[in-house]
């Protein structure tokens, strides 16, 4: 069979015998993915565990009757199946050999399998042969012995594409095949293969190939092809391959064709980056610098300049994500990218020292969400610009922990509480999120102005849970000024409440507070405000036509109140 039908590219090792270049007139050009297909297990890279298992099984004559190779695209599943077929049917140069993990490659079975013309090695594409009738042909043919080989071997590529009925028809034969038959299955989506089939096969999970292995492999191929390439260019190709040798070889083929002939045909990193539509590292670093400096205008200008050069907005977002990831790993001394220049390493290290984990995590989450938005957007550039503004704005905001510390220290004074209007009060959560009014440093009061909700938060954050509960449920404020809190006395507050609250505020803010009981009713407590809001919401819900109709149809029904999400702790 013509091996062009194979949709899985093998992985080659670094010690390949150098093949003499074919003359231009001898035939059409063969792409690198086919030209450097592995012919022995020694030429596979990254699959040592599988090769060792197969070698031991052959040496001990403990061969399974069915094998399943699974893994991502381009890691060598179909090529491995062909190698197994050669290993089982090899007869050696003298014609007297048996199954071996090192097929000779010169005997008639080895050469016939390599050329895809062996009558006893049948390859089937399950994507185009999915029905019961296709499987029935296999079932009927397995009864007959091999014509010239030791084993009759069926290689089924993308086996997960078989229909349910086809799988069921194959089960009995797959479980108890004749001794002269072996099944070799390959799939990229093993989760779609029925468990009944998986249990009848010896499974091998082919691993992704690491970038350093791909770099060495591609460097070896470039040397054999007589093509010069910059090391950063090879690293870019190895990274873009995402663990797939076939993808990497296809990109390498394209990069060689893209190389500037005026420069001697040398593959450069700049050309590869332009070919793949990747954003320049220096431009992405400049964009990251503008984000961290809060320079919104500069960030938008840089994004537009990259867009004018043909860089897609989603590629810029991915570049920012890669840089954020690199900075985060650099903080834990786990960032190793051989393609980086020394200047880029220093810049990433400098950012890693200045930025904390919380801002980096926030930046990552914003970019991750923005990546999906830009990817699906009708106008990606507009979405990218809005994403940059959102990231810049969020980067300047303190996280909740820092905000609590700033409030406690008085570094961010809040606006004094204003008496509520007769209308239903907002709940505590919206009150706590009210923005603080700016205060001139020269006229700053001796104690920071806080709302009742902020005082409640401080008590909770400092572990004064009992005091926080009493304040939330029973404190009716008469006067609240910086450093002064006057409340209406009530039997529900302990006699020591004023002293305990003053001590807690001193410990939390570093400022002394005058806390005392006064005359008058005072404003509603936080708990009463929330209860009033819930009651108002309940009345509004009951007025909805659909709710009125439901209550009329079911007179004994009751509205389930919303969960109490007040920030309270058990005393």
CATH number of the domain bearing residue 326: 1.20.272.10
The answer to whether residue 140 is domain-embedded is yes
Q: Is residue 136 part of a domain?
A: yes
Alpha carbon dihedral 269, 275, 278, 281, in 10-degree steps, equals: 20
Domain boundary among 375, 395, 415: 395
Give the pLDDT confidence of 125-161 residue by residue, as tens digits: 888 888 888 888 888 888 888 888 889 999 999 899 9
Looking at residue 359, its pLDDT comes to 83
**What average pLDDT does range 354-374 have in this prediction?**
87
Q: How confident is the model at residue 354 (pLDDT cuts 50, 70, 90)?
A: confident
Q: Tell whether 360 is covered by a domain.
A: yes
Report yes or no: 256 and 227 within 8 Å, Cβ to Cβ: yes
The CA distances from residue 426 to 202, 244, 459, 487, 558, in Å, are 64, 57, 21, 20, 25
Whole-angstrom distance, CA of residue 132 vs CA of residue 164: 9
The domain in which residue 137 lies consists of 38-205
The larger pLDDT score, comparing residue 107 to residue 336, is at 107
Average pLDDT, the chain: 79
pLDDT digits (tens, 9 = 90+) for 409-447: 555 444 334 333 333 333 333 333 333 333 333 333 345
- Model pLDDT, residue 413: 47
Given a cut of 70, whether residue 339 has pLDDT beyond it is no
Q: How far apart are CA 119 and CA 125, in angstroms?
A: 17
Do 411 and 354 lie in one domain? The reply is no
Torsion sign, CA atoms 224, 225, 227, 229: negative
What percentage of the chain exceeds 90 in pLDDT? 7
Q: What does the pLDDT read at residue 26?
A: 52
The pair of three-digit structure tokens given for residue 33, joined into one six-digit string: 């993915």
Q: What is the pTM of this model?
A: 0.56
Q: For residues 439 and 381, state if they share a domain.
A: no
> Which tokens in the block code for residue 537?
């919401």
Inter-residue contact 74 to 9 (CB < 8 Å): yes
Domain for residue 427, yes or no? yes
Asked if 72 and 199 sit in the same domain, the reply is yes
Query: Do 409 and 372 fall within a single domain?
Result: no
pLDDT at 519: 81
The answer as to whether 544 is a domain residue is no
Is the domain of 191 the same as that of 286? Answer: no
Q: How much helix, strand and coil, in percent to the nearest 5, is found in the chain?
A: 50, 5, 40
pLDDT for res 153: 92
Number of domains in the chain: 3
Residues 43 and 13: beta-carbon distance below 8 Å:
yes
Contact of 213 with 46, CB cutoff 8 Å: yes
Domain boundary among 167, 188, 205: 205
CA distances (Å), 345 to each of 44, 59, 330, 492, in order?
33, 49, 9, 63
* pLDDT one-digit tens code per residue, 318-328: 989 988 888 88
Residues 166 and 315 in one domain: no
Rounded CA separation 474/526 (Å): 8
Given a cut of 70, whether residue 347 has pLDDT beyond it is: yes
Ranges of beta strands (E only) in 166-227 are: 181-187, 202-205
- Beta carbons within 8 Å of 561's beta carbon, 6+ residues apart: 534, 538
Report pLDDT for 236. 84
Pick the last residue of a domain from 495, 511, 527. 527
Same domain, 297 and 434: no
Q: How much is the average pLDDT of 480-507?
A: 86
Do residues 464 and 340 both lie within one domain?
no
Q: Is residue 184 part of a domain?
A: yes
Judgement on whether residues 378 and 435 belong to the same structural domain of the protein: no
Q: What percent of the chain has pLDDT over 70?
A: 80
| DSSP codes, 57-74 | HHHTT---SEEEEE-STT
Query: Based on the domain organization, do 62 and 194 belong to the same domain?
Result: yes
Residues 109 and 135: their CA atoms lie apart, in Å, by 25
Residues 450 and 511 in one domain: yes
Q: pLDDT by residue (tens digit) across 524-557?
A: 888 888 888 888 887 888 887 777 777 777 777 7
Residue 68: its pLDDT value, please? 92
- Rg of the chain's alpha carbons, rounded to an integer? 36
Residue 227 placed within a domain? no
């Amino acid at each position: 069979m013509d091996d062009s039908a194979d949709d899985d590219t093998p992985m080659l090792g670094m010690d390949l015998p150098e093949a003499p270049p074919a003359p231009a007139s001898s035939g059409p050009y063969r792409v690198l993915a086919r030209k450097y297909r592995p012919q022995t297990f020694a030429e596979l890279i990254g699959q040592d565990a599988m090769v060792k298992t197969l070698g031991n099984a052959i040496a001990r004559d403990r061969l399974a009757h069915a094998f399943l190779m699974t893994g991502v695209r381009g890691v060598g599943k179909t090529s491995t199946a062909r190698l197994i077929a050669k290993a089982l049917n090899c007869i050696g140069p003298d014609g007297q050999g048996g199954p071996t993990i090192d097929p000779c490659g010169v005997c008639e079975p080895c050469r016939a399998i390599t050329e895809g013309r062996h009558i006893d090695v049948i390859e089937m594409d399950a994507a185009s042969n999915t029905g019961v009738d296709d499987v029935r042909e296999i079932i009927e043919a397995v009864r007959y012995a091999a014509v010239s080989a030791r084993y009759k071997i069926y290689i089924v590529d993308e086996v997960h594409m078989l229909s349910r009925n086809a799988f069921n028809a194959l089960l009995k034969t797959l479980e108890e095949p004749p001794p002269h038959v072996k099944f070799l299955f390959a799939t990229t989506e093993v989760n779609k293969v029925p468990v009944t089939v998986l249990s009848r096969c010896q499974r091998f999970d082919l691993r992704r190939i690491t970038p350093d292995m791909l770099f060495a492999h591609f460097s070896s191929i470039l040397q054999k092809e007589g093509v010069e390439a910059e090391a950063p260019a090879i690293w870019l190709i190895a990274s873009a391959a995402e663990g797939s040798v076939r993808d990497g070889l296809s990109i390498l083929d394209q990069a060689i064709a893209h190389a500037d002939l005026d420069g001697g045909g040398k593959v450069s990193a700049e050309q590869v980056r332009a070919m793949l539509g990747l954003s320049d590292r220096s431009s992405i670093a400049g964009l990251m610098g503008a984000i961290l400096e809060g320079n919104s205008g500069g960030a938008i200008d840089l994004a537009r300049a990259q867009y004018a050069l043909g860089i897609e907005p989603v590629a810029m977002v991915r570049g920012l994500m890669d840089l954020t990831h690199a900075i985060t790993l650099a903080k834990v001394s786990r960032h190793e990218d051989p393609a980086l220049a020394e200047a880029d390493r220093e810049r990433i290290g400098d950012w890693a020292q200045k930025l904390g984990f919380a801002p980096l995590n926030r930046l990552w989450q914003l970019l991750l969400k923005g990546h999906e938005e830009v990817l699906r957007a009708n106008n990606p550039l507009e979405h990218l610009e809005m994403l940059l503004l959102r990231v810049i704005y969020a980067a300047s905001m303190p996280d909740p922990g820092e905000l609590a510390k700033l409030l406690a220290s008085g570094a961010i004074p809040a606006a004094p509480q204003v008496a509520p209007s007769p209308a239903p009060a907002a709940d505590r959560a919206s009150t706590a999120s009210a923005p603080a009014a700016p205060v001139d440093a020269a006229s700053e009061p001796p104690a920071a102005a806080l709302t009742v909700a902020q005082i409640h938060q401080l008590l909770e954050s400092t572990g004064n849970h009992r005091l926080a509960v009493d304040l939330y449920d029973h404190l009716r404020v008469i006067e609240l000024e910086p450093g002064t809190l006057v409340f209406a006395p009530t039997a529900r507050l302990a006699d020591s409440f004023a002293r305990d609250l003053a001590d807690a505020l001193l410990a939390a803010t570093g400022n002394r507070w005058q806390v005392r009981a006064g005359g008058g009713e005072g404003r509603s407590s936080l708990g009463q405000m929330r209860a009033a809001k819930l009651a108002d919401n309940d009345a509004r819900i009951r007025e909805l036509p659909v709710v009125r109709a439901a209550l009329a149809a079911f007179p004994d029904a009751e509205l389930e109140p919303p969960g109490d999400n007040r920030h309270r702790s058990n005393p």
